[in-house]
Amino acid sequence: MRLELGHVLIKDVQFGNETKLEKGVLTVNKEELINLIKEDEHLASVDVDIAKPGESVRITPVKDVVEPRVKVEGPGGVFPGILSKVDVVGSGKTNVLKGCVVMTTGKIVGFQEGIVDMSGPGAEFTPFSKTINLVLKCEPVEGLKQHDHERAVRFAGFKAAAYLAETAKSMTPDTVEVYEVDPFLKGIEKYPNLPKVGYVQMLQTQGLLHDTYVYGVDAKQIVPTIMYPTEIMDGAIVSGNCVSACDKNTTYHQMNNPVIHDLLAEHGKTLNFVGVIITNENVYLADKERSSNWTAKLAEYLGLDGVIVSQEGFGNPDTDLIMNTKKIEAKGIDTVIITDEYAGRDGASQSLADADPSANAVVTGGNANEIIVLPKMDKVIGTLDYVDIIAGGFDGSLAADGTITVEIQAITGATNEVGFNKMSARGF
């Protein structure tokens, strides 16, 4: 499987009479984009705004973040099973609008969405203070059910990203990155002396709007399976999560997963990156046992020497994380886990809800309970109505002067568990 990612570098985003891309400047016809999104009868109103790095702007509540990508050559299209037909993606050529994203906000579905500040101390904890953000504010029709509301906002982000990415379909990219992974047996023959490494990616699937989709299928319904790493870069996995902002994988995180990128960078040099095993994080014990059994079985079947396991979320999924680690280690396969911590505001509490001596190689994204004071911003995109009740907030988080005191749990991507964040520590 060979994929060429063409990076079209975006220097600025602005509104204009025509949606086009020239010399790194993306011009967006605001009315045309709004009309496209409002084709969904579940949305009563849609507005679009732009937030740029360094501005005194706060975006909240943030639902999802999507990087615009378009399939230029090869099978399928970006977001298969969602916007494109269900072809196997991850090969051919895909162009990327690099440096800008689509972000969704508006009336909240659950109560766990996040904050993105474009400047100030909070900006240091989120990667999305460094991107130019085209923000959709979507308001649902009266009486809309929660899952229909979530789906409407989710699809709005995907449709907007696809709409913008079309401007780069026929463009020559500024840079091109090539990723290639061989079929299993060919890869074993090609790199006989390199350690065989796999990546176990745990997907948030706790239900009650804690959803991740694989080729359009709710991952609660899957059993662990194997994917080429490049499939994920074409949007085969997307977020439908309304969970704690600090460690949920937005669709942007899925498409730019640094674990996958780093393993591919070493593939054929220091290791043989055999592939990705995706697994879920369901709530019933039988489901946890089944998924962790299958995950360990697949790691053994592939003959892996080492595995990296990344978690999504905390609390209940800590059990899945430890189950996966114990069972993979019991197969004689070395395991490193990536997680984050909920160790209390003083850092003195137990970091994970579960533990085992076999989980002795850990990378952490930081302590989500750490407190931060976010200064007032000159402009808010979205609404401050939910600041006191989002995960990481509390009664009185929003002060009368506009400052916000919250745990960094409330900042989108602050302790991300694929490592796309500022903080980390390692212990062996």
Cα–Cα distance for residue pair 314/208, rounded to 1 Å? 15
Adjacent-strand bridge partners of 347: none
CB 374 within 8 Å of CB 115: yes
Beta-carbon contacts of 365 under 8 Å, excluding residues fewer than 6 positions away, are 247, 338, 339, 340, 341, 414, 415, 416, 417, 419, 421, 423, 424
Radius of gyration of the chain (CA): 21
CB 189 within 8 Å of CB 272: no
Question: H/E element holding 272?
Answer: strand 272-280
Pairing mode, if any, of strands 237-241 and 175-180? unpaired
Handedness of CA 216, 310, 254, 105 (dihedral sign): positive
Of residues 217, 356, 225, the one with CA closest to residue 279: 225
Cα–Cα distance for residue pair 105/48, rounded to 1 Å? 10
Residue 45 amino acid letter: S
Give me the sheet containing 12-15, strands edge to edge. 12-15, 25-28, 20-22
Question: H/E element holding 105?
Answer: strand 100-106
The tokens for 271 are: 């290791």
Adjacent-strand bridge partners of 178: 4
Number of Cα atoms under 13 Å in the Cβ half of residue 269: 7
Pairing mode, if any, of strands 272-280 and 196-203? parallel
CB 247 within 8 Å of CB 340: yes
Pairing mode, if any, of strands 100-106 and 25-28? unpaired
Number of Cα atoms under 13 Å in the Cβ half of residue 368: 30
Neighbours of 427 (CB within 10 A): 8
Which residues does the annotation mark as catalytic? 242
